[in-house]
Chain A
Amino acid sequence: MANEILAAGLAAALVLTAVAALGAKKVSTSLIMLFYSSVVLGVTFTLYNDALIGLVHMATFAGAVSVLLLTVILMTGESNLAIGGRRIALVLAGVTVLVVLASISTITSGGPALAPSQSQDISLQVLGFVWNYRPWDLLALIMVFASSMVAVVSLLSKERP
Chain B
Amino acid sequence: MITDQTIFLVTGTLLVFIGIASVSISKNLIKTLMSFQVVVFGVNLTLFASGLGGADRALSDAFVLLSILVGASVEAVGLAVIVAVHRKYGTLNPDEIRRLRG
Contact = CB atoms under 8 A, between A and B. Distances in A.
A36 to B, nearest CB: 12
A18 B22 CA distance: 11
Interface string B14-44: 1100110010001010110111011001001
A68 B75 contact: yes
Given A22-B31, A69-B34, 13 more contacts: A15-B11, A22-B26, A22-B35, A41-B44, A41-B45, A45-B48, A50-B48, A53-B68, A57-B64, A60-B72, A61-B41, A68-B79, A75-B86
Interface string A9-48: 0010011001101100001001100100110010011001
Interface residues of B, number: 40
B65 interface: yes
Contact of B61 (A30, A44, A53): A53
B30 A14 contact: no
Q: Please indicate which of the listed interface residues B8, B37, B83, B92 has the most CB atoms of chain A within 10 Å of its own CB.
A: B37
Given A14-B15, A41-B41, A34 B34 contact: yes
B61 to A, nearest CB: 6
Nearest to A33: B34
Interface string B58-83: 00010011001101100110010011
Contacts of B14: 15
Interface of A: 3-4, 6-8, 11, 14-15, 18-19, 21-22, 27, 30-31, 34, 37-38, 41, 44-45, 48, 50, 52-53, 56-57, 60-61, 64-65, 68-69, 71-73, 75-76, 78
Contacts of B65: 53, 56
B34 A22 contact: yes
Nearest to B10: A11
A76 B68 CA distance: 26
